[in-house]
Structures are given as C-alpha cells and as structure tokens.
A and B are shown apart, each in its own frame.
Chain A
Amino acid sequence: MNDLDFVAELRAGIPEPPSTRLAVGRTRLTAAIAAESRPGTTRSPDKRPNRVAIASCAGVAAAVTAAAALVLTSGRTAVPTAGRAQTIVTAAWTVRRDTSGTVTIYLRQYADPAGLQQTLHADGVNAIVRRVPVAMELVGLAGRLPGSGKTQLRILRTACRYATIDNAPAAVQRAVVSLAGGDLPAVFTIHPGAMPRMSALLVPFLTGLPASRPNGQKHIKPQLPVVLNNDRVPACVPFSKPAPSPGAPAPK
C-alpha cells in the first residue's frame, strides 16, 4: 500500500448522495433546459454559468419528488473506467481494481457480503464470502482494582473453525493475498493472476461483533482471506463441538 492508496482511502466512506440531493441539481438543469427549449428562445453559445444558475433556481422543491425517482440507484457507486481501473464503493467497503488487475479491498465494516462476493467475481476473483460468527469468551479474572470487584477478562474469538480446509501452500497464500493495517478499516490486496487454476478465495466475514469494544479489547483483527485448492468450503465447526475427524464413525 503506497501513499497514493492512502490518499484514495481518505474519506472513501463517503457514500453516494441521497436521491433528494441529486434531485436539486437535476431540477435546476431541467429548468435551464426548459428555458432554452421554449419557443422563441435563442441560446448564446457562451452563456456564463452563474447567469444560468441564477435564472434556473425557481421551482426546485416542486420537482424534487419527480426527479428523485429518476436517480435512485442500487446503493453502490461504480466509477467505471473501461479497460483500466475500476472502483466500487459502498458504505461498508470499497473494491478497487487497478490497471494491472490487482484488486484492493478497503474493508470498513462487515456488511453486504453478497455484494462483496459479486463485486469480486466481476473483478476476476473467484471469491467465496462466508459469514463467520465471533463470540465473547471469558478467559479469567483479574486482580482487584481499587473500589471495585474482580475484573473479568474477556476476549473475542471466532466461534467456529474450518477443521478440514483444503488450502493452497503458504507460498501461494503469500503471493495472492496481503493485508495492510491490522485493524478495521483493513486493506486487503489480492492478485488474481497468482491464483492457481480451479482455486477459490475464501473471505471470512465476521458477524456478531459487539457495537462497542469490551474493556481490554484493543483491536478487532480482520481474518485474512485463504486460497483454497478448489471451491468446496467445509462447514465452519463450532468450537463447543469437536470437529469430526476424517474416517471417524458418524454419530448415531
């Protein structure tokens, strides 16, 4: 991640504008168009913009509703640039594909996993985004603090694990995925060209994170995506239940 990436990420969480805001501008433009289209009206090719703006302010509120219907979009802002870079932005994450095909995910919140998977597929990454629940776990009691009782020590951890995952060798993992910044917002860099044929990228998507971090919890570290040798993802086995070992008899 270089300095230009950091600049690109600054204020990247600003979402696309609400339809009412765009409707204001469209109404002003519509008024200017209508003024020019009126019979007997001639247009000077070099109208100054401030004159047009002043002349078109009337009737903004009345047309907002009609114009709003025209500008409603899907909730993602696409900045397409044919054959080059492309950036898809949502409130939760940004996916940017640069000219070399490298895909960068700027993850601000764990939200819209289906949208993220669809966007990664469009960018050439055979991604499987799976929800992985996290759980708070009591690990012990700390010493007595002045004026208070015992302090509970809790940690956040994944509530399940992939026991029988068929992942690619470590060298492949390093070649495909890297992560900058050990906390949310996180920045994953993916090199689709380094992924072996028939492989897939498992992107764990943490769910059940607390709204506020518990005492002593300094970071919520995103889990690194894993390159799988195929696109078969085993079930995430809860820690409370032992993972079935291969060849073990099925429980009756």
Chain B
Amino acid sequence: MTAPDGETDAAVISRSRHEPEAFALLYDRHAAAIYRYVARRLGDAPADDVVAECFLAAFARRDRYDPGRADARPWLYGIAARVIGKHRRTEVRLLRALARTGVDPVAESHADLVDSRVTAAAQQRQLSAALAGLAATDREVLLLIAWADLSYAEVAEALAIPVGTVRSRLSRARKKTRAALAGQDLTLQSEELYT
C-alpha cells in the first residue's frame, strides 16, 4: 500500500528498522481492516488481543520483511491468520451457533448498528454450517479471499504456500459452500414495489 505521501508499506517498515516509532504508521494504515477481519471471524472480544498480538509480532519480525513487497497487507493478514488459528475452536463454535439458531453471536453485539437481530436467512445458516465443517486451512484461504479481498498470489504470500495450493484449497472449500447453498434460489429477479 502506498500512502498519499508516496511512502509504501515496505519503505515504512525499512525506515522503522532505525526509527522504530515509524512502525506505528503501519498500524494506523491497516489496523482497522485487520480488526474488522478478525472481528468477523471471532467477534469483538478476542479481536482486541488478536490485533494487538498481530502487530506486536509484526513489529518484532520487521527485520525479516521482504522490502520488495510494497504492500504489507498479505504479510499482516498472514500473521493475523496464525494468531486466529489459536482461536479455532471459538470460531467454529460461533459458526455452529449461527447455523443452529439463526442468530449470529458475532453480529449480535452490533445489533444497534446493523439489523443483525433479524433471524438469518436460510442460506446464511447453511453457509455457516458449511464454513464450520471446512478444514481450517481451507477456511483460511476462502475467508482471506472473500473477506480480506486478497488475490490468490497475496493469499499464497500470506500463508507461505504455493498459488496452486491456494487454488486447490479454495476449490475444495467452494465445492462445499456450493453444496450447502444448493437448492437456494440465488437469482431472484426484482419486481416493482407495491404499485
């Protein structure tokens, strides 16, 4: 990522090797997006610690950052993924709760901001059941693409795996999500409103 001042993430990280306080700029650029990604997976309560731990780990490892990678997002999401991995049981429990009850415990804490108390649509419940049933590695790839907007190459970079592995894991995950959504009408057409 390049900031309006033209300094890339890589340049910030390089500078932080002799000016440690520069690393805070990386937090200001990316913490909100990383936080939101973590909160979507684990809820708000663990997200505080996961995000803090993620950036502290990144700060400690900044000497190993490849300065040829201008955008630090894949690196940060990769670190976040490893921290999230420690909370895998929590994630699966939350997804299963949504599948079982139709009420999303993650979204419910934001009920004053979003209409999350409304019982989830059938496809959301089936989808969350499918996500809970995925292998952790497959779910990681799927959610980095769908929720973090990373490309295949960036996911490969984040998880330190070949792009071919990203494709195969995504394919496996999508096969299961498609099966879960089978029978749902995804192409309803609109009609005029009450006139």
Contact = CB atoms under 8 A, between A and B. Distances in A.
A11 B59 contact: no
Given A71-B28, A221-B190, 17 more contacts: A2-B186, A3-B174, A7-B131, A7-B147, A10-B40, A11-B106, A15-B114, A24-B48, A29-B24, A37-B20, A56-B56, A77-B32, A87-B149, A155-B194, A157-B194, A158-B193, A181-B188
26 contacts: A1-B187, A3-B174, A3-B181, A6-B177, A6-B181, A7-B142, A10-B124, A21-B48, A22-B32, A26-B27, A26-B31, A29-B59, A32-B60, A33-B20, A37-B20, A45-B64, A49-B53, A49-B56, A49-B57, A71-B31, A77-B33, A82-B2, A82-B71, A89-B36, A181-B188, A182-B191
Interface residues of B, number: 66
A224 B106 CA distance: 30
Which of A25, A32, A48, A109 has most B Cβ within 10 Å? A25
Nearest to B191: A221
A235 interface: no
Give the contact-size bracket for chain A: 35 or more
B163 interface: no
Interface of A: 1-4, 6-8, 10-11, 13-17, 21-22, 24-26, 28-30, 32-33, 36-37, 45-50, 52-53, 56, 70-71, 73, 77, 79-82, 84-87, 89, 91, 108-109, 155-158, 161, 178-182, 184-185, 206, 221-224
B56 A158 contact: no
Contacts of B187: 1, 180
